[in-house]
Chain A
Amino acid sequence: MGPYERGELMAGPDGALLAFPRFLGERVLALASQVGGVGILLKDVLVRLSPSQIDRLELFRNLGRMGVKSVPIISATAAFTGGIMVIQAAPFVQQFQAEAFIGWAATFTTFRELGPLLIALIFNGRVGANNTAELGTMKVTDQVDALRALSIDPVSYLVVPRILAMVSMMVVLCVIGDAVALGGAVLTADLLLDVSPNLFLSSAVERLEVWDFGLGLVKSLLFGLMIALMSCYYGLATKGGAPGVGRAVNASVVASASGVFIVDYLLTFIL
């Protein structure tokens, strides 16, 4: 082993001098390895997307447990988000007597930004973390190798159905979330600002463009892809037994959330 292969061998002033560049280099290499790994996984998924290769049973199973079972928590989050938007806007609406704009302001922000973002973060915590834990457990208990030993391609059987389910259900959940958020906002505006549902909805319909809603869906689709890829990648890259599963879940949730914010920033900037 060379003298620069281990940090602890670099004691003394020279070692301290090299410690930071070494730490930085290791982090950059680790990041490059992870980005490369996610890219390879995406490629592996794309080449297996022909309808005949998709495991429909697994796809429907994942649609149910990842999507349908997420509806209650997503609905609760969305309802509060819609309400919070109105509460935040309430002082200004009252100060400037801008009741005619509250419907537009609340829905514009919720549809374009807050709805998809908060739903993605909740989805990441509930579905992404669970997906990483499940795949990680399968990896450290040899179940992934067992699939290969049974001539079953783990990407086709485990990853493709999960990614399709997560991406599609994120879009569906965003639509549901938008509708529930709208309900929460209408109710809050009615109770707090005495803005009638008719005024609220006409304000939203008149000023809102279809693209405001569409942008939210595009964001949801990409957020779903980001969470799905990250959670599958970190799950399948798990090593080190049960503690390794914990580390993988942590890394997956952090990487997915960071990825969601980066994608959101870029999309908001570009579109």
Chain B
Amino acid sequence: MIEVRDVHKSFVRPVLRGVSLRVPEGCIYALIGPGAAGKSVLLKLIAGLLKPEQGSILIKGEELGKKTDLELAKLREGMGMLFQNYALFQMSVADNIAFPLRRAKTHSEEEIRERVRERLERVALPGREDQDPATMSGGQKKRVGVARATVAKPPIVLYDEPTAGLDPVTSQKIYDLVREEQRREGATVMVISSDVSGVLSIADRVGMLHEGRLIFDGTADEARVSEEPAVKQFVHGLVDGPL
């Protein structure tokens, strides 16, 4: 479903140095790693928001690098994305969630209202349609972001640090929500997170980026017992190690 082949990307300094990975269809793939490892950059490359300097990215077998802007926009209609700092627009909660559907012009206003109501119930924020997102807590904003990312029922959903800055209880609620949504819709999900224990609780597969390279790719259980020094240190939160 998602395939990354030998991708390189630099911003003054190299960020990704030959990353290759594969996310199977209907799988939750967690990408973990320390700060500035290149996780968010890789997610933006997969979403087609950035272009790699070398290598290729394939979504459902279609290479992003060969697409025109229009074709890329069409491809992105099948993706939902939650941004690390919410990226909610300056409009009401309902308008934020309805935004992708209204722009797509594929649903009637009544259908959109119903879908928004259903999404808000799913993310445990019923009746908050008219609220200004600026007045919400971090966890509530994340949940609105999840609702917006999934309102069009996209086959691919990308989550960038869905629990950054949230308390452990709210974090686990967000992860449970991500898992439930994936179970219901069968979407292919990629989650970036520095919160290892939380994300491993929902992930089918795990990749770890370190200094721009993928140093681990396996199941969540394999990650927990990995003897690779950097993976072991990061997964278990050890002070001593190469990180």
Contacts and interface: CB of A to CB of B under 8 A. Distances in A.
B67 interface: no
Contact of B83 (A145, A151, A152, A153): A145
B73 A145 contact: no
Interface string B58-102: 000000000001000110110111011111110000000001100
A141 B81 CA distance: 14
Contacts of A152: 73, 103
A142 B47 contact: no
A146 interface: yes
| Majority-rule SS of B interface residues | mixed
A150 interface: yes
B89 A149 contact: no
Contacts of B99: 150
A142 B89 CA distance: 10
Contacts of B47: 149
Contacts, number: 43
A142 B84 CA distance: 8
A151 B103 contact: yes
B43 to A, nearest CB: 10
A150 B76 contact: yes
Contacts of A145: 44, 49, 83, 87
Given A145-B44, A145-B49, A150 B103 contact: yes
Interface in A116-149: 141-143, 145-146, 148-149
A71 to B, nearest CB: 23
A148 B87 contact: no
A141 B134 CA distance: 13
Interface in B21-65: 44, 47-49
A23 B49 CA distance: 33
Given A145-B44, A145-B49, A151 B85 contact: no
Interface string B129-160: 00000000000000000000000000000000
A141 B44 CA distance: 14
Given A151-B73, A151-B74, A153-B73, A146 B87 contact: yes
Interface in A144-170: 145-146, 148-153
B76 A141 contact: no
A149 to B, nearest CB: 4
A149 B79 contact: yes
Leading 8 A-B pairs by shortest Cβ distance: A146-B87, A142-B87, A149-B81, A142-B83, A151-B73, A151-B76, A151-B77, A143-B87
6 contacts: A141-B85, A141-B86, A143-B87, A146-B89, A150-B76, A150-B100
Interface of A: 141-143, 145-146, 148-153
Given A149-B47, A153-B69, 19 more contacts: A141-B85, A141-B86, A142-B87, A143-B89, A145-B44, A145-B87, A146-B81, A146-B87, A148-B48, A148-B73, A148-B76, A149-B76, A149-B79, A149-B80, A149-B83, A150-B76, A151-B73, A151-B104, A152-B103
